[in-house]
């Protein structure tokens, strides 16, 4: 089809009613060929923020399936949300542990400062345990977890003289015991073709970046991956995902125009991904919590239309939480669980936060699986959550 006709068709599609209003599922807006498999990301690509220009005309119709290959040419500034660094391959386990520890440094400082002064040459008496409980609450572990940990200390170490190192090691053990039940990897079943992951969360919590990081990691595992730019109202959000798609070699299903129906896009994208035999489909969404009712309706509608094509989709609903928001993350869990069937969490920005202890509160009080933690903007900075590593990292232990 000639380009002009194709764009006209896209424009026409944008004005159609949402898919759930129709008796039959709507046709895919575009029959863009699936094309050849994506190329791996260039190992030495320029910094992402400099790779692509912002769109000149936000209102211009876009392709519904955009395959963005890395381009040459002079770098120019990108959208504000674009990550600042390229995405290298994931670090070794040793490298990751030191990165995790470094990322958690601010949280560690907050937690251990109190402990250091508290337990120097002291017996673990009632007063000391009370102070420990306060320290843990101040470090965002939450009242319930703090109480549980202190009770553990009371049972096993009450009245004994303890060194600072002993206290830290024992705390790490108690914390790891709280975290262990929620430390579960996100199951991906490529045979579903595609396994659909709906990524939800409040604005700025790291949805888009998490999608990009996961996309890169799954690609490195040899899976075919595509993204859906479901935050359709913000042209910059679509652009940000397209930049990432280009970088990590994943096709991006984008709306025909800003503001197009997100559920319609999700439906069309899943249909096209099925036809293309894509193994993992990562769906970005809007996070406008200030209009909770509208967001709930939008997310539920996305889920409903996905189920028309695959009754089990979305197979995962990943909620991203920004660790810097501390206890607010618990509230966000509650709100999003009301909206959609959240299956697991990704806790981001632990590197910028002194509130990493909130992961313990989440484990104790919410109990949803914690699939990933993020300690930076690079692809390798998002890793599966491991209870012991995290607990020891939080205490600054190797
Ligand atoms: N330091 C740090 N920054 C992160 C991490 N994860 C994401 N970010 C940054 O946080 C900012 C927001 O991330 P996005 O992925 O755009 O968040 P979003 O949820 O998609 O935001 P909206 O699209 O506005 O709803 C970006 O600048 C990311 O680079 C992390 O683990 N550590
Ligand atoms: Mg986003």
SS3 262: helix
Short-list 390, 314, 215, 305, CA closest to 17: 305
Predicted confidence at residue 79, as pLDDT, reads 36
Q: How far is the CA of 348 from the centre of ligand 2 (A)?
A: 13
Distance between CA 52 and CA 28 in Å, rounded? 28
- Omega of the bond leading into 59 within 30 degrees of 0 (cis): no
pLDDT in tens, 104-118: 999 999 999 888 877
Residues comprising the chain, all counted = 398
Q: How far is the CA of 395 from the centre of ligand 1 (A)?
A: 25
Residues with CB under 5 A from ligand 2 (ion): 207-208, 237
Q: Name every residue whose Cβ is closer than 8 Å to that of residue 196 and which is 6 or more positions away in sequence.
A: 270, 281, 283, 306, 310, 313, 314, 315, 316
Q: Is the pLDDT of residue 2 over 70?
A: no
Q: DSSP string spanning 10-76? A: HHHHHTSPPGGGSSSPPPPS------SPPPPPPTTPPPGGGTSPPPS-TTS---SEE------S---
Residue 348 among known ligand-binding residues: yes
Residues with a CB atom less than 6 Å from ligand 1: 81, 83, 201, 203-209, 231, 237, 287, 320, 348-349, 351-352, 374-377, 381
In degrees, rounded to 5, the angle at the alpha carbon of residue 370 between the alpha carbons of residues 368 and 374 is 145
Please give the model's pTM, rounded to 2 decimal places: 0.82
User: What are the two backbone dihedrals, phi and then psi, of residue 373, each rounded to the nearest 5 degrees?
Assistant: -125, 145
Distance between CA 292 and CA 299 in Å, rounded? 10
Q: How far is the CA of 263 from the centre of ligand 2 (A)?
A: 16
The two tokens of residue 93 are: 């386990």
CB atoms within 10 A of CB 174: 20
Residue 205 among known ligand-binding residues: yes
pLDDT in tens, 262-291: 999 999 999 999 999 999 999 999 998 888
User: Once rounded to an integer, what is the mean pLDDT over residues 190-207?
Assistant: 97
pLDDT in tens, 32-90: 323 333 333 333 332 222 222 222 232 323 334 544 433 333 233 233 344 444 444 45
């Amino acid at each position: 089809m000639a380009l002009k006709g194709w764009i006209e068709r896209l424009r026409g599609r944008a004005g159609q009613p949402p898919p759930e209003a129709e008796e039959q599922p709507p046709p895919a807006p575009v029959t863009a060929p699936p094309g050849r498999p994506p190329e791996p990301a260039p190992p030495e690509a320029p910094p992402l923020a400099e790779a692509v220009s912002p769109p000149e005309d936000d209102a211009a119709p876009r392709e519904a399936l955009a395959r963005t290959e890395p381009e040459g040419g002079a770098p120019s500034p990108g959208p504000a949300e674009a990550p600042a660094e390229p995405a290298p391959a994931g670090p070794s386990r040793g490298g990751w542990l030191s990165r995790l520890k470094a990322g958690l440094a601010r949280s560690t400082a907050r937690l251990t400062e109190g402990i250091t002064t508290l337990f120097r040459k002291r017996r673990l008496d009632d007063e000391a345990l009370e102070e420990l409980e306060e320290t843990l609450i101040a470090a965002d572990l939450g009242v319930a977890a703090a109480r549980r940990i202190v009770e553990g200390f009371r049972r096993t170490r009450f009245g004994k003289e303890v060194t600072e190192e002993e206290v830290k090691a024992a705390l790490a053990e108690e914390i790891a015991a709280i975290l262990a039940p929620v430390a579960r990897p996100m199951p991906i079943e490529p045979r579903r073709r595609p396994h659909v992951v709906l990524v939800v969360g409040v604005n700025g919590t790291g949805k888009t970046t998490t999608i990009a990081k996961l996309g890169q990691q799954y690609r490195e595992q040899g899976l075919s991956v595509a993204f859906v730019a479901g935050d359709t109202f913000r042209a910059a959000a679509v652009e940000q995902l397209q930049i990432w798609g280009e970088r990590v070699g994943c096709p991006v299903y984008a709306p025909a125009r800003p503001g197009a129906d997100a559920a319609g896009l999700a439906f069309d994208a899943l249909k096209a991904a099925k036809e293309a035999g894509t193994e993992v489909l990562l769906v970005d969404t809007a996070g406008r919590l200030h209009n909770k009712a509208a967001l709930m309706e939008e997310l539920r509608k996305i889920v409903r239309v996905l189920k028309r094509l695959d009754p089990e989709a979305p197979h995962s609903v990943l909620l991203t939480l920004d660790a810097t928001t501390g206890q607010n993350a618990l509230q966000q869990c509650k709100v999003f669980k009301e909206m959609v069937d959240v299956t697991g969490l990704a806790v981001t920005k632990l590197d910028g936060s002194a509130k990493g202890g909130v992961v313990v509160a989440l484990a104790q009080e919410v109990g949803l699986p914690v699939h990933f933690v993020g300690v930076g903007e690079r692809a390798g900075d998002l890793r599966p959550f491991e209870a012991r590593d995290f607990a020891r990292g939080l205490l600054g232990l190797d």
